[in-house]
């Protein structure tokens, strides 16, 4: 185990955070807030965390496996919000967002950063594999606002939320939800996830699940089946609607486990081999000259390239 952690970034999640709030404009009059904000955030995180390696994971368009389990998975997901501005001064288009993402990917190729993209695979699954399997003994800092990743938290894995601007540990998670990281996915199977179009059990929320099933706060694993069985017993002496709903909607909760559980179920054998080979063969490179030329070409002059490279140079692998 290295002393310095691995910085594992949910690329689209971090980019969108800055795309919707950063008003930076290029010399050509194009909105480039997503790019500038992402790069500045990356430098800031590198300074704060001091990572031995930085990996940016990109979304590839969804999981066929999950859609096969549940055809409505992310089907009616609300479109991602674009720029939060008043007036017509700043472009507010999907085209601009796509252009910025393409530019960001090309810029990061000139920095000592690995970018991961696996076709037909969600970023969450890649992050879970890297954090739990590939780097099974390393310290990890996951950068994302996604609650799906809370189930990965442990003594060696923490999460930084760009939205909350804070680090989240297993202790923080338990204090907020009264549910342990070990059982967070189990609880979510009953709560559901509206953002992904995943229905849950009526009347089941984090507060109600924690109150009626205090074992979810423990570090010992509690399965969906355990919760269903306890509810069946409680029905005999309780009229609480939550218990009867859990029994009635047990199949929904069991389906949700297949959709939500990240550790080992989201990648095919072929995808694991591809991902492992890319991780093994990665050799960090950096070219300040090329990065400066690319930034100048797109009229981005409000970014401290020297500070960026100073923050990241510790990530160059030394033999």
Contacts of 3 (CB under 8 A, 6+ apart): none
Mean local confidence (pLDDT), 65-80: 64
Q: How confident is the model at residue 319 (pLDDT cuts 50, 70, 90)?
A: very low
More confident residue, 143 or 81: 143
Q: What is the pLDDT of residue 266?
A: 72
Contacts of 117 (CB under 8 A, 6+ apart): 57, 58, 60
Q: What is the pLDDT of residue 305?
A: 92
Listing DSSP states for 203-258 in one string gives T--HHHHHHH-GGGGSSS---HHHHHHHHHHHTTT---HHHHHHHHTHHHHHHHHH
Q: Is the pLDDT of residue 74 over 80?
A: no
Q: Is the pLDDT of residue 82 over 80?
A: no
- At the topology level, CATH places domain 181-260 in DNA polymerase; domain 1 (1.10.150)
Give the best-scoring range by mean pLDDT among 10-19, 62-71, 77-86.
10-19
Each domain of the chain, given as residue ranges in start order, spans 6-174+265-315, 181-260
Q: What is the pLDDT of residue 35?
A: 96
| pTM for this predicted structure | 0.91
Confirm whether 6-174+265-315 and 181-260 share one CATH topology: no
Q: What is the CATH number of domain 6-174+265-315?
A: 3.40.50.1010
Q: Which of 224, 198, 201 is nearest to 213 (CA)?
A: 224
Q: How confident is the model at residue 269 (pLDDT cuts 50, 70, 90)?
A: confident
Q: How confident is the model at residue 318 (pLDDT cuts 50, 70, 90)?
A: very low
Q: How confident is the model at residue 90 (pLDDT cuts 50, 70, 90)?
A: low
Q: Is the pLDDT of residue 91 over 70?
A: no
Mean local confidence (pLDDT), 6-16: 96
Q: What is the pLDDT of residue 86?
A: 35
Q: How confident is the model at residue 64 (pLDDT cuts 50, 70, 90)?
A: low
């Amino acid at each position: 185990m290295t002393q310095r952690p691995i910085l594992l970034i949910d690329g689209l999640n971090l980019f969108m955070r800055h795309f919707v709030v950063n008003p930076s404009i290029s010399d050509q009059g194009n909105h480039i807030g997503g790019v500038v904000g992402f790069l500045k955030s990356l430098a800031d995180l590198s300074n704060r965390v001091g990572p031995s390696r930085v990996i940016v994971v990109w979304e590839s368009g969804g999981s066929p496996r999950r859609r096969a389990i549940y055809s409505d998975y992310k089907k009616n997901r609300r479109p991602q919000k674009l720029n939060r501005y008043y007036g017509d001064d700043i472009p507010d288009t999907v085209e601009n967002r796509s252009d910025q993402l393409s530019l960001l990917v090309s810029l990061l190729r000139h920095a000592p950063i690995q970018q991961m993209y696996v076709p037909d695979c969600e970023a969450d699954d890649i992050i879970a594999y890297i954090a739990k399997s590939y780097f099974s003994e390393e310290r990890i800092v996951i950068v994302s606002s996604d609650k799906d990743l809370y189930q990965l938290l442990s003594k060696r894995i923490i999460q930084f939320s760009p939205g909350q601007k804070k680090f989240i540990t297993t202790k923080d998670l338990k204090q907020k939800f009264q549910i342990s990281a070990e059982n967070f996915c189990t609880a979510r199977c009953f709560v559901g996830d509206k953002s992904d179009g995943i229905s849950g059990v009526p009347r089941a929320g984090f507060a109600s699940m924690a109150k009626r099933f205090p074992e979810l706060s423990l570090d010992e694993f509690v399965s969906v089946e355990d919760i269903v069985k306890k509810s069946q017993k409680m029905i005999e002496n309780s009229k609480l609607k939550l218990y009867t709903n859990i029994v009635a909607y047990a199949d929904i909760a069991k389906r949700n486990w297949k959709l939500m559980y990240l550790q080992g179920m989201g990648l095919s054998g072929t995808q694991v081999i591809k991902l492992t080979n890319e991780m093994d063969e990665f050799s960090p490179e950096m070219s300040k000259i090329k990065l400066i030329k690319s930034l100048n070409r797109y009229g981005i002059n409000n970014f401290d390239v020297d500070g960026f490279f100073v923050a990241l140079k510790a990530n160059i692998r030394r033999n």
